[in-house]
Structure 1
């Protein structure tokens, strides 16, 4: 599929697109406005299932509405819960996406936190099937985002090889003219290698 890359989120989707096309179980761990949920639902096989999680009812309503408007809501399980509880809903996944921070256009006082984010990423990494992919977009340009990114970076940099490979992308020529010290968003891609992993399933809680 052809994609226009204008943001770090576009980059994440472009990298994941091929794997999404053959995935059976996919997760948007931070539903927000539902754009990653829509991407996963639209570009995965007809039989695939997408889990879309958020702690904000308004975010899930937006995600559901967007999926319904695009005719893919039947593929999505919308879950009102913290992504830290991801493992309560499924035992394996082929693709997992995180877009940290706050929901664009939503309540900026509600944002992802280091402790729950780290717990969620740990769970997601363990859920990944062989050849599975995990994407994490972090925003170190704010005080809260800086602390969260530091925790994420520490976690992913210590994922054990050869079970996992981790890559990092960041726009190096994107300068904040107001504050040059502010860092641009960062994308991490975690790839799980081909070692065997049992597939099971836990009943989804709606």
Structure 2
């Protein structure tokens, strides 16, 4: 693709950390990973609602509003996958409905039960931090923390207290997972010596 020249005021550089090429648009003072020669970008308008509009590649035949992706600057409204595609989080997670006290406490209890099931796996963890098992357990526990973040205490002290206790429990589980991985790495290193 390098046979075609870059558009005016564009420059190709190499990221020092990853070794991947990226492109600098000097006119707009922006950078991007996608080669502008391959891109048919959707233009976006500046947003004043706290959202960041991101141009994405458009497949032929899509309307511009189908191709526009908006990622909120708030936590976890969408996930950017490794291949650069945007996976939207369901609206129910973006703006969780207000819960009653009993409903919030039930949700907290359900999250704790889920965390406890992963804690059993953490107890028997025998590999290192780079393993898929470690990454899976860490991800699942962090997802539970994110679920707890969606619960609105609405000023209720019981909800706050329960949520705080489950957050501490999950953080302790994550600490235990990290310590076990470190100990396992140390054992592997000492056996190799």
TM-score (structure 2 length as normaliser): 0.29
Q: Comparing both structures, which one devotes a greater share of its residues to strand? A: 1
Q: Kindly indicate whether structure 1 or structure 2 has the higher relative contact order, using CA contacts under 8 Å at least 6 residues apart.
A: 1
Which has more radius of gyration?
2
Q: Comparing both structures, which one devotes a greater share of its residues to helix? A: 2
